[in-house]
Amino acid sequence: MPRLILSPRYSADSIALWQAALASGWSTTRVRQISDSAELAGEVDPAEVLIYGETMLADAVAAALDLALLEPTYAWLPELPAALRLREIELATLGVARRLTGPVFVKPVDDKFFPARVYAPVEVDALVADDLPVLIAEPVRFGVEVRAFVCERTVVGLSAYIRDGQLAQTELGEWPLGPDEERDARACLERLLRSEVALPPAVVIDVGEIAGRGWAIVEANAAWASGLCGVDARAVLPVLRRACMPRGQLGAGDEQWLRPRAHLSDR
């Protein structure tokens, strides 16, 4: 029986996934604190585990159970064909970014070490090391951004994510997506999914409309750490399961998307 491992941090998304897992007849475990992840060894079958939560939780559980977590590589977005990203993006280090006068958009590629935004110049807390990998991008303005959960190159759910720089969630907790927006978002996603661009078997892809340019890929993220943004939790569960497996069960095409083992003592 599949077992969903959840973070100690309660959120609307984790509760929705917990409810969906129970409705599917799956087991769930919410760890009391991340350091308790080691206790899972010997108590659960790694072949049945799927994870949802922050990267620290995922890394800890993966280490305890010798699991492989799948995610896009740091270079995936900047290496996309220009016609799919519609802006200049490069993979560099924070040290390189700090030497730029801007304006440039800078985002850490793994975890939220500092806010992702446009900097001019790039002034980031001195405690964040120069060798931190970052994406440096040409500043553009997105209107609507749409989140899609994708499994085996098939969209299983999507919803509005951001509108004009703000979360698209309404006061009623909904994430509305107009029919024209959905049509254009799906068309953008299909250009990617039908292309020869390599893609993790389970992933979250954000697409959006760039003012004056059209629809483009915003970014790709690990499914196990991405907000649902209104996507049906029942549709997300199979994506999470495909994104996590024992290392000994990796398929031929999976290894290129393997998240590096975390040095938990450094966190």
Q: What is the CATH number of domain 3-71+244-266?
A: 3.40.1010
d(CA 184, CA 116) in angstroms, rounded, equals 26
> H-helix or E-strand containing 165?
none
Report the first-to-last Cα separation within the chain, whole angstroms: 32
Q: Is 223 helix (H, G, I), strand (E, B) or coil?
A: helix
**What are 208-243's pLDDT values in tens digits?**
999 999 999 999 999 999 999 999 999 999 999 999
Return the pLDDT at 95: 97
Return the pLDDT at 38: 86
Q: Where in the chain is the domain with CATH 3.30.470?
A: 142-221
Of the candidates 172, 156, 140, the residue with the CA atom closest to the CA atom of residue 226: 156
pLDDT band of residue 265 (cuts 50, 70, 90) is very low
Residue 175 pLDDT greater than 60, yes or no = yes
CB atoms within 10 A of CB 29: 17
pLDDT band of residue 105 (cuts 50, 70, 90) is very high
Q: What is the CATH number of domain 142-221?
A: 3.30.470
Return the pLDDT at 262: 67
**Rounded average pLDDT over 191-216:** 98
pLDDT band of residue 173 (cuts 50, 70, 90) is very high
**Rounded average pLDDT over 37-46:** 89
Residue 266 pLDDT greater than 50, yes or no = no
CB 53 within 8 A of CB 224: yes
Residue 156 pLDDT greater than 90, yes or no = yes
Return the pLDDT at 267: 43
% of the chain surpassing 70 pLDDT: 98
Residue 79 pLDDT greater than 90, yes or no = yes
Q: Where in the chain is the domain with CATH 3.40.1010?
A: 3-71+244-266
| Range of 34-43, 240-249, 255-264 with top mean pLDDT | 240-249
**What are 119-138's pLDDT values in tens digits?**
999 999 999 999 999 999 99
**Rounded average pLDDT over 32-40:** 87
**Rounded average pLDDT over 99-119:** 92
- 242 contacts: CB under 8 Å, gap ≥ 6: 70, 151, 152, 201, 202, 223
